[in-house]
Structure 1
Amino acid sequence: MEGLIKTSTELPDMLVLEILSKLSVKSLTRFRCVCKPWSSSFETPHFITKHHQNNLKNNNLNLLLKRCHGGTPDDIHYFSQLSTEKYQNFRVKHNIHLPFFENFLHGPFVHGPCNGILCLADLGSIVHNVALWNPSTREFKILPQSTVQRPPGLLDYTSFNSLGFGYDSQTADFKFVRFVTNYFEENLDEGLMADWNNQVELYSLKGDSWKEISFPEVDGFASILFNNYVNGFIYCQAVAIDQLILSFDMVNEKFSISPLPEFGGSLEQYYLELLDFNGLLGAIFYPREGTDKSFDLWVMNGSWTKQFSVESVLGVERPLGFWKNGELFLESSDQELVLIDPSIQELRNLGIHAYQKTMHITGYVESLVPLNGRSEHKECIIRRPVGGESN
């Protein structure tokens, strides 16, 4: 018989693929060698989607922690892959160094995950380096430099503000959006003066290209702690307008604005982080001052409603991300990773350290999505098993 597999029971090909779609990426990588039809099937959109949906359904989350473990924030930033196995939760399995970003202050900002893909962007003011990374398949793609034309008379630098990374479901395309501020000289009677204007650029993975899109009436800046892509939209805080959210539709490539929840405070007193909370837009507020922190989570589902409050947690600095069952990762005032269960207000120290305010945690499910890039090995990305070393 011809098909994906020959056994004494002659399992139907669709049943075999259904079973395989529930396996880890590591197992599927090994099974590519079993036969060519299997290897080809793993690359089809249907199988890739089915595999990702199974991981979402079973909540098979993986954890990456970006941090700096040196004595200053300018030391090299790297990623630590944390174990999510039972009885070994949150032990460091691997430390991952990305040479492409090691020459940039504070390392890359992390956008995503989106379908298992992370978008990494540095803070360079002259050249803005961006890369896509699938940590499951260990594929890495450095984005080409923008071909969008700049206005004449530029000074020595152009600044970039990353808005976010998301997915266009209509065209099956991943897109990255950023604001660009161009600084140039204006020759007036009283002498040369600096001036600036703004552009918005969009990168398409499908076309592997950049283009300029319409600039909104207000600009914005994205969270550096949480994933700001939710169900086809990127969300960020509007600049200079205290109570508005700027959103971007990945399909129509249009901006719009909407109000923040009436949380009873001012953004002069509270930090705001926008995030994906169980498939809905969430907004978490916490005080700018003090180490006796409270955290309020609001969720948009037709209207803003308060999901929960965490009151008076001593010795913590800021939230880092949500884990299963609504547990919240926090950075302590001792620069350690801690986990709190809001339902019982219980704080658990995980024994993982970093230099102050350099932690960024990302929970993602495995994905087979291809990037048309290169392997981590070819990009000189180094993974070092930790073993018995300290976190």
Structure 2
Amino acid sequence: MQGLSKTGSDLPEVLVLEILSKLPVKSLTRFRCVCKPWSCSFQTPVFITKHHNYNLRNNNLNLLFKGFQGNTIDGLHYFYQLSTEKGQNFSAKQKFHIPYFGKGWNTLPVNGPCNGILCLNDYEDKVALWNPSTREFKILPQSSVQRPPSAYHTSFNDLGFGYDSQTDDYKVLRFVTSHFEEDSFNPNYQAELYSLRSDSWKEISTHGVFVCDGPLFNKYVNGFYYWQAAGDSGDLILSFDMVNEKFSTLSLPITLEHFYWHLLDFKGLLGVIYHPCEGTEKSFDLWVMNGSWTKQFTIESVPGVEWPLGFWKNGELFLESSDHQLVLFDPSTRELKNLGMHAEKDTMQITAYVESLVTINGRSEYEERIIHSASN
């Protein structure tokens, strides 16, 4: 209590910190200047966990919209922070642009969140971690994993991002393909793992399956990251244990022809959502793994939509419409609401995350020249 007396507070220190743990990150950032004990307390694992768990329990979600505008070569990706206040209809509050990542439609998918942290990457060896709450940004070092010397081209493919609770470490797993001029039909596949604690990459033995996935949804669930994959017997699910650093496989709940399927974190459980490839009306079936696969629900006949993008607090479903607008469908009322956000086809993502004080040993957004501007 001695250190806190400078603030004029007569409350016990434990109670003061309990109250502070319920405040948004923006307020806590300002309050670091109140006194040194507060500033130090905000950086302890106990306080960081307490603050994050409070937001999880109360479902205090933030929304980040990613889109793309322009042509496929010179177009730019951008982010909008959307308002989640009641009655504001997810209006855009602030716009972000990240110059570190180049131009072009196939760059900058968003992976995560994991404890409030996002992982961004392109397909040209650039990977970064980002805490949008604290505005900390970390560019990951280039991998030192050796590539086959005769390869003429290397592509960096699907990526997974998660947390190792045993070592308190954040890890990035990505797949790398090396191509050869003399044998273009037999590329070399590698997997490599980055550790934030060691700030380095290492090679991981692959499972011998082909990953064919993209980060439409967050697929990190309780220490495991999941990908859509293909093996000798057809489609399957590939998982990676962030603690043991081992791959394993899982069968799909059902196999349907002419249907897309996507993996996602649904309320802390692994889910698979199916929808038809064709048609002007879409239905959506959600299956959840909880010891075994169980169908959670079916949403029938939603007109004028292309893709599911994510679930909101009360089961509403964010979707990309046929004219590439962000829309929200409420299954209980059958209402389809246009949220006024547009992006080029297949470039739209919506990410719901809980605020976090977790540090990623990076630099401020200002130092990395991330551009903030008021929404139009």
Q: Same fold (TM over 0.5)?
A: yes
Give SS of 2:47's match: helix
Structure 1 window deviating more from structure 2 (102-111 vs 243-252): it is: 102-111
Show the 5 A alignment for 1:223-242.
223-240=214-231, 241-242=233-234
How many angstroms apart in 1 are the aligned matches of 2:73 and 2:315?
A: 30
Gap change, CA 1:99 and 1:70, over 3 Å in 2: same
- Give the aligned residue type for 1:39: S
Query: Which residue number in structure 1 is paired with residue 141 of structure 2?
Result: 144
Is contact 2:138–2:360 with CA below 8 Å preserved after alignment? yes
Deviation at 1:170, TM superposition (A): 0.5
2:54 maps to 1:54: yes
Query: Which residue number in structure 2 is paired with residue 217 of structure 1?
Result: 208
**Sequence identity (%):** 66
Is contact 1:185–1:195 with CA below 8 Å preserved after alignment? no
Show the 5 A alignment for 1:1-391.
2-6=2-6, 10-70=10-70, 75-124=75-124, 128-155=125-152, 157-186=153-182, 195-240=186-231, 241-262=233-254, 265-266=256-257, 269-386=258-375, 389=376
How many angstroms apart in 2 are the aligned matches of 1:197 and 1:9?
A: 63
Deviation at 1:81, TM superposition (A): 0.7
Give SS of 1:243's match: strand
Deviation at 1:351, TM superposition (A): 1.9
Cα deviation digits, residues 38-77 of structure 1 (max 9, x gap): 0011111111111100110110100000002346685111
- Give the aligned residue type for 1:29: T
How many angstroms apart in 2 are the aligned matches of 1:130 and 1:257?
A: 26
How many angstroms apart in 1 are the aligned matches of 2:103 and 2:320?
A: 25
Gap change, CA 1:181 and 1:351, over 3 Å in 2: same
- Give the aligned residue type for 2:144: T
Gap change, CA 1:194 and 1:162, over 3 Å in 2: closer
How many angstroms apart in 1 are the aligned matches of 2:312 and 2:38?
A: 34
How many angstroms apart in 1 are the aligned matches of 2:280 and 2:244?
A: 42
The alignment's TM-score, normalised by the length of structure 2, stands at: 0.95
Is contact 2:61–2:354 with CA below 8 Å preserved after alignment? yes
Is contact 2:72–2:105 with CA below 8 Å preserved after alignment? no
Deviation at 1:182, TM superposition (A): 1.4
Is contact 1:133–1:141 with CA below 8 Å preserved after alignment? yes
Cα deviation digits, residues 128-147 of structure 1 (max 9, x gap): 10000000000000000001
Residues paired across the two proteins, number? 375
Deviation at 1:244, TM superposition (A): 1.2
Is contact 2:90–2:339 with CA below 8 Å preserved after alignment? yes
Give SS of 1:179's match: strand
Gap change, CA 1:120 and 1:279, over 3 Å in 2: same
Deviation at 1:214, TM superposition (A): 1.2
How many angstroms apart in 2 are the aligned matches of 1:259 and 1:79?
A: 35
Cα deviation digits, residues 9-37 of structure 1 (max 9, x gap): 62111111111000000000000000011
- Give the aligned residue type for 1:278: K
Is contact 2:158–2:211 with CA below 8 Å preserved after alignment? no
Gap change, CA 1:72 and 1:180, over 3 Å in 2: closer
Give SS of 2:174's match: strand
- Give the aligned residue type for 1:153: S
Structure 1 window deviating more from structure 2 (220-229 vs 78-87): it is: 220-229
Is contact 1:73–1:358 with CA below 8 Å preserved after alignment? no
Gap change, CA 1:151 and 1:233, over 3 Å in 2: same
Deviation at 1:162, TM superposition (A): 2.2
- Give the aligned residue type for 1:378: E
Give SS of 1:358's match: coil
How many angstroms apart in 2 are the aligned matches of 1:181 and 1:331?
A: 30
How many angstroms apart in 1 are the aligned matches of 2:73 and 2:344?
A: 6
Give SS of 2:3's match: coil
Residue segments in structure 1 that go unaligned for 5+ positions in a row: 187-191
Aligned CA-pair RMSD: 1.7
Deviation at 1:289, TM superposition (A): 1.2
